[in-house]
Amino acid sequence: MVGSIQIMRTHHVGIVVSDLQKSLDWYKSFLGFKEVARDYAEALDLTIVYIRSGETELELFTKGGSVPPRNEDKDLFPSFGFQGLRHLCFEVSNPDVAWDQARVHGADLANAPTQNEALGVRYCFIRDPDGILIEFLTPLSKLKS
């Protein structure tokens, strides 16, 4: 019998972006990420940049000729009709505060703060510069009244 794999943590999530500098500026200025590594694969015309905030790492890719996401991928509920990765989720201290900061920052707002008692969470969604859905979530048990 084969044993199960022991996952230590998520190392990173890779995102293909249309404009590397625009995405870097957005993730740095709005979410506090810092660039930690960069590479260029000439044979693939692919630039790879690792960014980190705390223990969270993202890997941003840019490649000539990449195509934008489908419109269905940019809206939360329609996106569930398609298989594949639907969004990134960052745990925050309070999604209402994150929502307000996103609005002030001029972020593309997707779904206002919502409480889901059955799942025990409060969350909201915004979009990055390429329309990738980003969720800010707090377990209800951690929300300060």
Q: Could you say which of 36, 65, 94 is where a domain stops?
A: 65
How many domains would you assign to the chain? Answer: 2
What CATH number has the domain bearing residue 40?
A: 3.10.180.10
**What is the reported pTM?**
0.86
Q: What percent of the chain has pLDDT over 70?
A: 88
Residues of the chain with pLDDT under 70: 1, 70-83, 144-145
- 75 with 142, same domain: the answer is yes
Contacts with 137 (C-beta within 8 Å, 6 or more apart), sequence order: 89, 90, 91, 92, 95, 121, 122, 123
The confidence score (pLDDT) of residue 56 equals 94
In tens, the pLDDT along 84-117 reads 778 899 999 999 999 999 999 999 999 999 999 9
Question: Which residue range is the domain that position 23 belongs to?
Answer: 1-65
